[in-house]
Amino acid sequence: MEISLNKNLFDTSNYYIIDKNFDSDYNDVYSKVERFKALIERTFDSETKRNFKRNISTLYIKKANKLQNEKANAEYSADSNTIFIKRDSGLTVYHELWHAASASKVGYIGFEKNRKYRGLNEGYTDLMTKRYFDDGTHVPHYKIEFYFCLMIESIISKSIMERLYLKADVDSLINEFSKYLDHEKVIKVFELLDIICNEAFGGKDISSKDAKHAIKQLYIYLVEAFAKKTYIEYRENKITKELAGKLIKNFLDKWEITVIGYGEDINFTNDKIKAKLIKNNLYNIEKKIC
Ligand SMILES: [Zn+2]
C-alpha cells in the first residue's frame, strides 16, 4: 500500500503515518493530528502525556471501507496502534486520537480496562473531544454517557479526571470516587454505564427496561456522591453552609432535566429521590445544610 510520511525522514526517526488513500482528505487529517499534538503538548504535564508521546510516534491512520462495528465511523486498535477511519463527521479524528493518546498497556485504554467500563471511556472521550475541539455545534455520539461523565467529573474534578484518563488509570479513579460513594456502588456506576453504552450505540434511543433502570439508578448514585462530596467540603470549611445547599439544589435541578430528557418514560422526580436517600440515611446532609 502506498503511504506517505508526514515529515521528511531526515527530521526524526519518530513519525506517524497517514494513509495516502485519503487523497484530498489527507491535508485535513494531517492538520487535525497536528492540532491535537499541539493541544496535548501545551496542556498536560510530561507524566500525563507519556502514553500519547509513545503512541503518536508510531501511530498509523488508515482509511477503511469496513469496520468491525458496522455502525461506527472509525475505530482505534491498540494492538496495532492504528486508527481506521470510514467517515469523518467532523470530530471523528479527534475522538480516535484521544483513544490513541490514552492507551497504555494491553487492555487499558483511557478508562476502559480489559473490555470493561467502555461506556465511561466513550463518554469521557466524547467529553474531551467536545471540550477541546468543538466549534459549538457538536452533538456527542455517546450523549447519555457524555452527560453522566460530566456529572462524575463535577464530583471528582476536571484535573484529576483528565490526568487519570490519559494515564489509563481507572483503578485510581475508582479509589478517588470511593471517597464519596461505597466502593461497590462505584463499580456499579461504571457497569450501569456499560449497559447504556451497549444499548445506545449509534444514537439509538434507550428503550429496554434495563437501560431505563440504569439511567435512574446512575442518577441516584451520583446525587448521593455529589451530596457527600459537598458535605465534606462544608465540614472542612471549604464552602459555606449556604453555598453547599445551593450546590446540591443546582446539581439536582440541572441533571434531573437532562437525565429525564434522554431517557424516555422515566417517571421520577427529585422529591422521590430525596425521599429515598433520606429513608436510607444517605441524605442527612439535607437536614444539616439546606
Ligand atoms: Zn470511541
Distance 105 CA to ligand 1 centre (A): 17
More confident residue, 285 or 79: 79
Give residue 210's pLDDT: 82
Cα→Cα distances 185→90, 182, 192, 283, Å: 36, 5, 10, 16
Give residue 281's pLDDT: 46
Per-residue pLDDT averaged across 202-228, rounded?
81
Strand partners, 19: 3
> Any long-range contacts for 244-252 (C-beta under 8 Å, 24+ apart)?
244/285, 244/289, 245/289, 245/290, 248/285, 248/286, 248/289, 248/290, 249/290, 251/151, 251/154, 251/223, 251/226, 252/223
Distance 93 CA to ligand 1 centre (A): 10
Give residue 253's pLDDT: 78
pLDDT digits (tens, 9 = 90+) for 145-169: 999 999 999 999 999 999 999 999 9
Q: Determine the angle formed by the axes of helices 26-43 and 118-133, rounding to 10 degrees.
A: 90
More confident residue, 278 or 154: 154
Give residue 19's pLDDT: 86
Give residue 268's pLDDT: 53
Distance 124 CA to ligand 1 centre (A): 9
pLDDT digits (tens, 9 = 90+) for 131-144: 999 988 788 888 88
Give residue 24's pLDDT: 73
Contact indicator for 119, 145 with CB cutoff of 8 Å: yes
260: pLDDT confidence band, cut at 50, 70 and 90? low
Distance 209 CA to ligand 1 centre (A): 25
What global pTM score does this model have?
A: 0.86
Give residue 288's pLDDT: 43
Distance 171 CA to ligand 1 centre (A): 20
Distance 248 CA to ligand 1 centre (A): 31
Give residue 145's pLDDT: 93
Distance 96 CA to ligand 1 centre (A): 6
Per-residue pLDDT averaged across 167-172, rounded?
98
Domain residue extents for the chain: 3-101, 143-279
Give residue 46's pLDDT: 96
271: pLDDT confidence band, cut at 50, 70 and 90? low
By CB atoms closer than 10 A (0-12, 13-18, 19+), residue 90 is: middle
Cell of 240: 459555606
**Ion ligand 1 — residues with CB < 5 Å:** 122
Distance 84 CA to ligand 1 centre (A): 11
More confident residue, 121 or 215: 121
Give residue 287's pLDDT: 46
Distance 116 CA to ligand 1 centre (A): 14
- Rounded CA separation 98/83 (Å): 11
Give residue 10's pLDDT: 40
262: pLDDT confidence band, cut at 50, 70 and 90? low
- Rounded CA separation 120/111 (Å): 7
Per-residue pLDDT averaged across 194-213, rounded?
77
pLDDT > 70 fraction of the chain, expressed in percent and rounded: 80
Distance 99 CA to ligand 1 centre (A): 7
Cell of 194: 456499560
Residue 103 is given by DSSP the state B
More confident residue, 53 or 272: 53
